Amino acid sequence: EIVVDKADQIYTHCYCEENIYKLVEKLSCYKDQNLDIYVVFISNGAKMIPIWGHKMDNSVCIWDYHVISVVQNKSDKKTVVFDFDVNDLKFPCDFNAYVTLCFKPEVSLKKEFQRKYRVIKAEDYMKTFSSDRSHMINKKTGLWNAEPPTYDPILHGTSTNNVFDFCCMDPNVDNGLPGSILSESEFFKRYK
């Protein structure tokens, strides 16, 4: 079992990709405990994905992308989700409880809102993710859309920012990044 106190984690509002990076960095100490640890980018071609439970009243938020971590026990297949932005669930929470609250499978989504999932092994994510945070600078004003984390940017290899490459859910685009792109039904089936 993974014991993590949400209050003890590094968190910066609107930097889910870095929050999850810092989390899986800490979770790497559990890798020998029969667990598969994944990072999951959620997005779509329109960059409009609905997620419930991120506001105090649990109404829907439309994000361009979101990043969570999914951890599965190899023996019993029990799966939990880490999402810093959910209000009404434990941290981590049961996969099925997360899906019910945040994705509302009973809601039929128009095509432009249908979510896709890039599932990446945590160790691969930690070797390849880079963000100089330039995607968070307002192009018109030159100011931050949200204040960046206080630690140095996370940079690997020659890329200075591959956030939107990870968000790309087109299976025909080979951007050289790890991960499998899944439909919502494939994602749910894999972890339920």
Active-site option among 5, 57, 64, 83: 83
For the question of residue 152 being annotated catalytic, the response is no
Where do the H-state alpha helices sit in 28-178? Answer: 95-98, 122-128, 163-167
Distances (CA, A) of 160 to 4, 128, 137: 30, 11, 14
The CA radius of gyration of the chain, in Å to the nearest whole number, is 16
**In this structure, is the dihedral angle defined by the CA atoms of residues 99, 16, 131 and 22, taken in order, positive or negative?**
negative
For the question of residue 93 being annotated catalytic, the response is no
The Cα–Cα gap between 85 and 112 comes to: 23
Nearest to 18 by CA among 176, 124, 132: 132
Distances (CA, A) of 74 to 31, 34, 132, 161: 11, 6, 35, 33
Active-site option among 14, 54, 61, 66: 66
Nearest to 95 by CA among 119, 72, 124: 72
The Cα–Cα gap between 62 and 81 comes to: 20
Active-site option among 5, 8, 14, 16: 16
For the question of residue 83 being annotated catalytic, the response is yes
Catalogue the active-site residues: 16, 66, 83
